[in-house]
């Protein structure tokens, strides 16, 4: 079984590779960027869903809400950069919304699992 430190290094490598790929795809000319789906919003959703899962694996001690805020800010920054004339891309508020929905969707099961653990650990107090 691989050690936790090895798994953590692999998770961080995967996260930074995905982050690099996402940033490149965001600023590359549309003809050079890989299109995962024919619908741009779905591509944004997939990219940020994967980034969120990898971020949680890469930084397991970080607060989920902090990770969510940082990733959402990254999505907003990408849209700002895409609006610059030298990038030749279109800024779209709804792309950022798709990014943020993906982050929320990826984190929802984790938060529900945490909530269940909290309720179970306090069950003796709830049942009274």
Write out pLDDT tens, residues 51-76: 999 999 999 999 999 999 999 999 99
Q: What is the pLDDT of residue 110?
A: 92
More confidently predicted of 99 and 4: 99
Q: What is the pLDDT of residue 91?
A: 87
Which of 15-24, 81-90, 91-100, 105-114 is the least confident region? Answer: 81-90
Angle between helices 64-82 and 4-27 (to 10 degrees): 20
Stretch 105-128: mean pLDDT: 80
Q: What is the pLDDT of residue 10?
A: 96
Chain-centroid distance, C-alpha 55: 7
Confidence of residue 125 (pLDDT cuts 50, 70, 90): low
Q: What is the pLDDT of residue 123?
A: 62
Dihedrals φ, ψ of 30, to 5°?
-50, -30
Could you tell me the CA-to-CA distances from 5 to 31, 64, 101 in Å, in that order? 39, 20, 31
Average pLDDT in the chain: 90
Write out pLDDT tens, residues 72-93: 999 999 999 999 988 888 889 9
d(CA 68, CA 24): 21
């Amino acid at each position: 079984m691989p050690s936790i430190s090895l798994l953590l290094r692999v998770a961080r490598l995967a996260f930074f590779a995905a982050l690099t790929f996402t940033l490149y795809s965001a600023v590359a000319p549309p003809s050079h960027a890989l299109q995962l789906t024919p619908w741009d919003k779905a591509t944004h959703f997939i990219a940020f869903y994967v980034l969120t899962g990898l971020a949680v694996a890469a930084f397991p001690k970080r607060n989920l809400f902090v990770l969510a805020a940082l990733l959402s800010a990254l999505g907003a920054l990408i849209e700002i950069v895409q609006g610059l004339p030298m990038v030749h891309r279109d800024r779209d508020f709804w792309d950022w919304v798709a990014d943020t929905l993906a982050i929320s969707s990826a984190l929802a099961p984790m938060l529900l699992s945490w909530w269940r653990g909290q309720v179970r650990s306090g069950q003796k107090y709830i049942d009274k």
